[in-house]
Amino acid sequence: MTVDVLFPYYGDVAMMKQAVESVLGQTSPDWTLTVVDDGYPDDSIPGYFGALAAKDPRITYLRNEQNLGANGNYRKALTFVRNELAVVMGADDVMLPNYIETVVAAHQQFPSAQIIQPGVQVIDEHNQPVVGLVDRAKRLYAPRVQGRRLLSGEPLAVSLMRGNWLYFPSICWKSDSFVAMNFREGLDVVQDLALALDLIKAGGSLVVDSAVCFQYRRHRESDSSWRALEGTRFIEEREFFTGMADEFAAMGWRRAARTARLHLSSRLNAAILLPKAIRSKQHEGVRNLRHHVLARPGGSKK
């Protein structure tokens, strides 16, 4: 069974090459790699991928004529799905050698599941294992699993609304439902969580596999880190949680709706970032973060 590795790219060249090498180093040969370069300004990149593709027909490289932004490039990447399983890999993350074989085995055990979340190790920009506050929180919210476990329905939605314990670049998706649902337009921060919840609301299920097979990179210079410090990511999060609460309520998922309106873990994350924003003199960020922490559930702070 072949897995489509989709690789929307814009960022650090050295980390990108490490990510690509990790795909090439899989113990299973059953993968294809499709790189969608969103116009990163480095003239060496087309030649690098051209040389790789000349040696390995599983590799395809495309470069956008115009920058599409994160959401647009992710949506474009999905148009290249050809196989039963697909992963949208981060351009600074690392697949451990057992990734492909792990997600394929999980799919074979639970073939109806649309989402596979394997075990993840978090690393920093120096490739060192780290466990910061965000990832400690993810471990707290994540279900306790040894081996594999199938989750679905409102209990899964409630769990993810309490705290998003998914690591999007590591997730393997069942391609037919993944492509049909696609990412919601206009989301750059919570697009992954939105897609997972859309599939869950439609009756989809998720497999948690405790086998560690992916390294997720968390570093200070990432786009998500800056968005968090400026507080802009929480504007999107607040609007998203409010909208999800309404959607859950319309389905009769009252617990999920209530949890979404509270979005306590998101508020806590903003509260933790407030002192750093103050020290960095991010005045707009301080305002955005404070508003997110103090806003009334489901509404604005009066």
What tokens appear for 184 in the block?
A: 């919601």
Note the Cα 220 to chain centre separation in Å.
17
* DSSP conformation class of 78: G
> Do residues 28 and 104 make contact, with C-beta atoms less than 8 angstroms apart?
yes
Other CB atoms within 10 Å distance of the CB of residue 49: 22
pLDDT at position 152: 98
Note the Cα 216 to chain centre separation in Å.
10
* Same domain membership, residue 157 and residue 99: yes
Output the domain CATH number for residue 198.
Answer: 3.90.550.10
pLDDT at position 287: 75
Query: Does 301 reside within a domain?
Result: no
Separation between Cα atoms, residue 62 and residue 38, nearest integer Å? 9
Last-in-domain residue among 217, 244, 277: 217
pLDDT bucket at 223, cuts 50 / 70 / 90: very low
Query: Does 107 reside within a domain?
Result: yes
pLDDT in tens, 58-107: 999 999 999 999 889 999 999 999 999 999 999 999 999 999 999 999 99
Task: Please identify which residue in the block is written with the tokens 């873990």.
Answer: 265
pLDDT at position 302: 36
Give 35's strand partners: 7, 61
pLDDT bucket at 260, cuts 50 / 70 / 90: very high
pLDDT at position 237: 86
pLDDT in tens, 28-50: 999 999 999 999 999 999 999 99
Query: Does 302 reside within a domain?
Result: no
- Work out the average pLDDT over 277-291: 74
What tokens appear for 284 in the block?
A: 């707009």
Domains of the chain: total = 2
pLDDT at position 201: 97
Separation between Cα atoms, residue 94 and residue 17, nearest integer Å? 10
Using the predicted structure, report yes or no on whether residue 284 has a pLDDT greater than 50.
yes
Distances (CA, A) of 6 to 19, 24, 65, 138: 12, 14, 18, 25
List the domain range (segments joined by +) for residue 185.
Answer: 3-217
Query: Does 299 reside within a domain?
Result: no
Separation between Cα atoms, residue 115 and residue 197, nearest integer Å? 11
pLDDT at position 132: 83
Query: Does 125 reside within a domain?
Result: yes
Query: Does 92 reside within a domain?
Result: yes
Last-in-domain residue among 217, 252, 276: 217
* Same domain membership, residue 230 and residue 179: no
* Between 108 and 136, residue with greater pLDDT: 108
pLDDT at position 131: 87
Query: Does 128 reside within a domain?
Result: yes
Other CB atoms within 10 Å distance of the CB of residue 264: 12
